[in-house]
Each structure stands twice: as structure tokens, then as C-alpha cells.
């Protein structure tokens, strides 16, 4: 797994009245959207601190289990990982990234060849289409770079808020929390950040995760959900946050 240095490049986004950069020089700043951070947690601040300290102890510097060599290959791997396991994605991307590790090479490789590489992954037809389309967009709009810009990333084919958050966190070290099925489950079961949908949980986590734990919170919660607080049968007997968790149906 390579360490990636953040690149500050942030291309101007197209707007109805020109690029965002050009517009900002003349227009009045838009009023800031109210993003009230609601503290909707069943845990006390002391319990939240203890929860993350315990997860940190088990894995001080967690890494993504997806294999990638640069922000572009990370972006592609995350797009491919929807409804697929990281191990399954890695198996397919090793050969794919050996052939195409940049947007330019991926666009040139084309949809048929990408489809052939990833045919063992669920939804591979649509994913191949999206990977080639997003590569072409990057080549045309950013010279192939993956911008450190959530709004822009979310405009790419196959890229939603969760994927953009993962890229910003893993490739660029931003303290974003991408709520996937594991984080959603752990946040609700423990009472850390209950919510009825991923966005509500994300907002809840943003409001309660202490700054010191923000960078790795995403990984700790995913890994905890994947290996301990599993969907069907949580391994509560091996859980390091068992005494903090508010789940009423613990297994032991």
C-alpha cells in the first residue's frame, strides 16, 4: 500500500455563470449553508473518548484494505467496491492497474477491456462503463488528476458521497467519515451516532467524534463492523467497546 502525498490542485468547477474561480472574484459570497451539528448520541463525551481510545489501541494506524498506488487507482477501487468485498476488488484490480494506473491509460484501455478485467465483481458492466467514463472526464477536465474537492468528485460517474469521502480521507488525509453499511450498523448499535440513513449518521458522527480521532475514525468503525460487530452475529464476547455499547441484544 503506498502512502500518497496530498496534492493541493483544485480545478475550477464549471458553474452556470463560468468557473467557480472566475465567479468568486466578482460575485458576493453566497450565504453559508447552515450545517447545524446535532449531538444525537446515546453516549457521554467520556464514553465516546473511551470508545475511540479502545479502537485505536487495537490498530493505531489503520489502512484501507483496498489496494491502490495513487489517488486515481484508489478512486477506481472504491467505485468498484460497491456491493463487493475488498478482497474481490483487489483480485481484479491487480492486473487492471498493472495495465492502467492513470486516467489516461484507463480511458485508452476502453470499456470492453476494463469489463473483462473486472468481470468477477458484481455489477461489472455498469462499473466498467463508469470507470471509463470518469477517466475520460478526468483527462478532459483535470489533466487526469483526482481533485481534492468533494463537490467535483460527486459529479463523476459512479461516484457518490461515500466514495468521495473515502478518497478525501485515504488519499488526501482529510478527516471525512464515509458511512458505509458497517459504520451505519456500528453507529446505530453502539448508540454513538444513531440515524435512519447514512447522511444522518454521518452528520451525527461529525458532531461527536473528537478531533484527535477524526482522521482514522472511518477505518476504525469499518474494521470494527467488518470483523467484530458483524451484521448477523456480532462477536460481543471479543468486543473491546462492549462496556460502552448500548446495543440491547448483545450476543454474550
Which residue ranges are tagged as binding site? Answer: 229, 236, 239, 245
Compute the distance between CA of residue 207 and CA of residue 183 in angstroms, rounded to an integer: 15
Of residues 166, 156, 98, 93, the one with CA closest to residue 129: 156
Report the nearest approach of ligand SF4 to the CB of residue 210 (Å): 18
Map residues 209-228 to x or -, x wherever contact with ligand SF4 holds by CB under 6 A.
Answer: -------------------x
Instruction: Choose, from 162, 246, 249, 250, the residue flagged as catalytic.
Output: 162
Report the nearest approach of ligand SF4 to the CB of residue 250 (Å): 5
Nearer to ligand SF4 (CB atom), residue 20 or residue 53: 53
Compute the distance between CA of residue 134 and CA of residue 128 in angstroms, rounded to an integer: 10
Identify the residue whose cell numbers are 462496556: 243
- 40 a catalytic residue: no
Q: Nearest 10 degrees: CA dihedral of 171, 177, 181, 184? A: 170
DSSP secondary structure of 173-232: --------HHHHHHHHHHSSS--SSHHHHHHHHHHHS-GGGHHHHHHHHHHHHHHTS-SS
DSSP secondary structure of 67-109: --SSHHHHHHHHHHTTTS-HHHHHHHHHHHHHH--SHHHHHHH
Nearer to ligand SF4 (CB atom), residue 177 or residue 239: 239
Report the nearest approach of ligand SF4 to the CB of residue 154 (Å): 30
Residues of span 100-139 touching ligand SF4 by CB under 6 A: none
Nearer to ligand SF4 (CB atom), residue 33 or residue 232: 232
- Would you mind telling me the total number of residues written for the chain in this entry? 252
Q: Is 39 helix (H, G, I), strand (E, B) or coil?
A: coil
Phi/psi at 15 (5° precision): -130, 175
Report the nearest approach of ligand SF4 to the CB of residue 2 (Å): 32
Instruction: Choose, from 49, 180, 211, 246, the residue flagged as catalytic.
Output: 180
Residues of span 225-244 touching ligand SF4 by CB under 6 A: 228-229, 234-236, 239, 241-242
- 136 a catalytic residue: no
Computed on alpha carbons and rounded to an integer, the radius of gyration of the chain in Å comes to 20
User: Residues touching ligand SF4: how many (CB under 6 A)?
Assistant: 13
Annotated binding site for [4Fe-4S] cluster: 229, 236, 239, 245
Cβ partners under 8 Å of residue 53, min gap 6: none
Report the nearest approach of ligand SF4 to the CB of residue 54 (Å): 10
Residues of span 162-201 touching ligand SF4 by CB under 6 A: 189-190
Give the interface with ligand SF4 as residue ranges (CB under 6 A). 189-190, 228-229, 234-236, 239, 241-242, 245, 247, 250
Which positions are annotated as active-site residues?
A: 162, 180
Amino acid at each position: 500500500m503506498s502512502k500518497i502525498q496530498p496534492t493541493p490542485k483544485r480545478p475550477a468547477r464549471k458553474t452556470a455563470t463560468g468557473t467557480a474561480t472566475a465567479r468568486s472574484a466578482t460575485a458576493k459570497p453566497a450565504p453559508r449553508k447552515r450545517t447545524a451539528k446535532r449531538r444525537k448520541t446515546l453516549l457521554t463525551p467520556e464514553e465516546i473518548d473511551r470508545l475511540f481510545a479502545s479502537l485505536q489501541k487495537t490498530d493505531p494506524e489503520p489502512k484501507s484494505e483496498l489496494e491502490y498506488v495513487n489517488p486515481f487507482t484508489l478512486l477506481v477501487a472504491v467505485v468498484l467496491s460497491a456491493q463487493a468485498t475488498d478482497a474481490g476488488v483487489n483480485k481484479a484490480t491487480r492486473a487492471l492497474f498493472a495495465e492502467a494506473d492513470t486516467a489516461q491509460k484507463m480511458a485508452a484501455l476502453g470499456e470492453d477491456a476494463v469489463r473483462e478485467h473486472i468481470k468477477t465483481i458484481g455489477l461489472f458492466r455498469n462499473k466498467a462503463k463508469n470507470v471509463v467514463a470518469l477517466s475520460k472526464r478526468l483527462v478532459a477536465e483535470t489533466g487526469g488528476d483526482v481533485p481534492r474537492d468533494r463537490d467535483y468528485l460527486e459529479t463523476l460517474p459512479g461516484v457518490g458521497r461515500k466514495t468521495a469521502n473515502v478518497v478525501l480521507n485515504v488519499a488526501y488525509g482529510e478527516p471525512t467519515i464515509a458511512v458505509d453499511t458497517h459504520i451505519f450498523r456500528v453507529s446505530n448499535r453502539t448508540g454513538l451516532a444513531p440515524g435512519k440513513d447514512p447522511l444522518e449518521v454521518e452528520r451525527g458522527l461529525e458532531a461527536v467524534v473528537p478531533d484527535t480521532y477524526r482522521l482514522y475514525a472511518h477505518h476504525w468503525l469499518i474494521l470494527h463492523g467488518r470483523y467484530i460487530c458483524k451484521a448477523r452475529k456480532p462477536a460481543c464476547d471479543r468486543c473491546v467497546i462492549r462496556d460502552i455499547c448500548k446495543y440491547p441484544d448483545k450476543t454474550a
